[in-house]
Structure 1
Amino acid sequence: MTKSELIVRLAEKHPHLYQRDVEKVVSTIFDEIADALSRGARVELRGFGAFSVKERDPRIGRNPRTGEAVRVHGKAVPFFKTGKQLRERLNGGSDS
């Protein structure tokens, strides 16, 4: 599902809201999550999951075309861990 599909679905489920308002709400939520992650904060949505930032150490990689060793700098990457309720819903009610 894309962001625009999410907005359309939410607008259909809540016909008393204008689609442009739903779009503002969704964009604001995503922006706030991104801002929190850029500050290094963790964002937890109970029952859904948690977003956090993990640091990747610098390493030596390989150029797949030439096989040459390449230095890869350290970087921060977003990480998502599903919540228990979402995991159970995806697995048909059993957490295995």
Structure 2
Amino acid sequence: MRTFDTSGGGATSREPAIPSKSQLRNAVPKTPRAPSDRSHGTLTKREIAQAVYSVCPGLSRSQAKGFVDAVIEEIVCALAVGEDVSLRGFGKFAVREKPERPGRNPKTGVSAPISARKVVTFKASDQLKAEVDGE
């Protein structure tokens, strides 16, 4: 299982310190986002890259996009070979095998077997659940 620790390592004196989640929360007042900030309530990869670019002043926009693409590709590759991916404070992605089972076409009622397949599951961490719940 791959585990990615988002807590960060020790910053050297040459690197700017990355503010903690509580520091960011205290520094920026919570205000509702303008509708133009988000497209139909869905966070996109482009918006994630923009967020990385805005909090990392040393990165260019293309480097931020490359960073986000690399992270997502690493997660996809790990899942493709059957490894679990655990992101501390966020949740765990896992691949599960579903066996073949009987099914039916709801329109015609004809029975047909549903083939065995692999599916990706996600289990949210307690920390994520609490954040979403507003605690």
Structure of greater relative contact order (alpha carbons < 8 Å, 6+ residues apart): 2
TM-score for the superposition, normalised by structure 1: 0.89
Q: Deviation of residue 17 (structure 1)?
A: 1.3
**Letter paired with 2:85:** V
Alpha-carbon distance in structure 2 between the residues aligned to 1:8 and 1:67:
48
Q: Which ranges of 4 or more aligned residues in structure 1 deviate by more than 3 Å?
A: none
Structure 1 residue 72 and structure 2 residue 98: aligned? no
SS at match of 1:31: helix
Partner in structure 2 of residue 16 of structure 1? 58
Q: Deviation of residue 13 (structure 1)?
A: 2.8
Greater C-alpha radius of gyration: 2
**Letter paired with 1:23:** K
SS at match of 1:64: coil
**Letter paired with 1:63:** N
Aligned with residue 60 of structure 1, among 87, 102, 108: 102
Count of aligned pairs: 93
Alpha-carbon distance in structure 2 between the residues aligned to 1:49 and 1:29:
15
**Which ranges of structure 1 fall in alignment gaps of 5 or more residues?**
none
Identity of aligned residues (%): 35
Partner in structure 1 of residue 15 of structure 2? none
**Which ranges of structure 2 fall in alignment gaps of 5 or more residues?**
1-42
TM-score for the superposition, normalised by structure 2: 0.65
Greater fraction strand: 1
